[in-house]
Amino acid sequence: MSKKTDEVQSIIEKSGNSFHSRVVNLLREGGWTVLVSPYYSDNFTDKPREIDIIAEKGFDIGMWVNEWVGTVNVQLFLECKYINEKIVFWFDAKDEYRAIERIMKDTRLEHPNQNNSIRVHHYLSDAFVAKLFASLKRDGSDEHNLFQRAINQSLNALVSYRFKYNLIPPVKHMREKIRHRIVYPMIVCNSFENFYQKKIADAESEVEQISKPFQLEVNYAYKNMGGVGLNEYFLIDVIDIEQLSAFLASIEKTDITAVKEHLLWEERAKPSSSNQQN
């Protein structure tokens, strides 16, 4: 192998782009439209920023066999992280009140006091969420910027883009009818091999390795387009790439199906044209 080839191979091996590309291809294979490394203007600093991936997919709503009602479009604001250092996450009870508020705002589903179908949403599947995290560099110094950057990038891009941008090109032979859009901030990692968890409420609890997708609970301060300071509650899904396809299939079965059924109920509740004429 020539020196130039060695240098090129070294660039590939040291870059995180190979992992980034793997996530992109996995999403495309699942039918997602993917925007790779888009830039946006950070409302807080007014500087250009980059997020790894924004992906979108439309899920059809059909009322009857041959009647198309529209789509529920899902957007993922996704950061890809190759983790080669051990990270400890401290877990505590989820703020269920604010989690329900988050779901209601995102999905238009009713409060569980009115309709219990909101309980299937995956944000309510786990009672405990990660609230703190820390790692050590190889030199022993404390370092948690890797995950802090991932949180900032996914949420900054989400608040900048949401409700304003369609990734999926309009189809000329079919009228575009997006009935609702749901946005999810996510962090996809190469492996959970270096992830560990500890309970905040139990200082004597043992440290355990994390093996399944989990959520980070974040109270996020930012400025809107008008420069007004806001604080918003978010849950960020953290997923091992090997579990990503199964995870996306599971939220389609729970979250998206619940929203589609709610929209169908609204459609069926509309007065028919014959009743309107009478």
Residue 125 in domain? yes
Comparison of pLDDT for 60 and 13, the residue scoring more: 60
Residue 6 in domain? no
Q: Evaluate whether 235 touches 102 at the Cβ level (below 8 Å).
A: yes
Type of residue numbered 66: N
| Alpha helices per DSSP H over 40-142 | 96-107
d(CA 67, CA 64): 5
Type of residue numbered 116: N
Residue 92 in domain? yes
Give the pTM: 0.87
Provide the pLDDT for residue 41. 65
Residue 175 in domain? yes
In tens, the pLDDT along 140-194 reads 444 457 788 899 899 988 988 876 667 776 654 455 688 899 999 999 999 999 9
Residue 60 in domain? yes
Q: Which domain holds residue 115?
A: 17-270
Give the largest CA-CA distance in the chain. Answer: 83
Provide the pLDDT for residue 228. 79
Residue 97 in domain? yes
pLDDT at 28 over 90: yes
Cβ within 8 Å of residue 68, ≥6 positions away: 60, 61, 62, 174, 177
pLDDT at 256 over 70: yes
- Two tokens at 175? 């009228």
Residue 40 in domain? yes
What's the chain's average pLDDT?
A: 83
Residue 5 in domain? no
Question: What's the total number of domains in the chain?
Answer: 1
Which strand ranges, in their side-by-side order, compose the sheet holding 229-240? 33-36, 53-64, 67-81, 178-189, 229-240, 214-223, 128-135, 87-93, 195-199, 208-209
Q: Evaluate whether 194 touches 89 at the Cβ level (below 8 Å).
A: no
Comparison of pLDDT for 245 and 115, the residue scoring more: 245
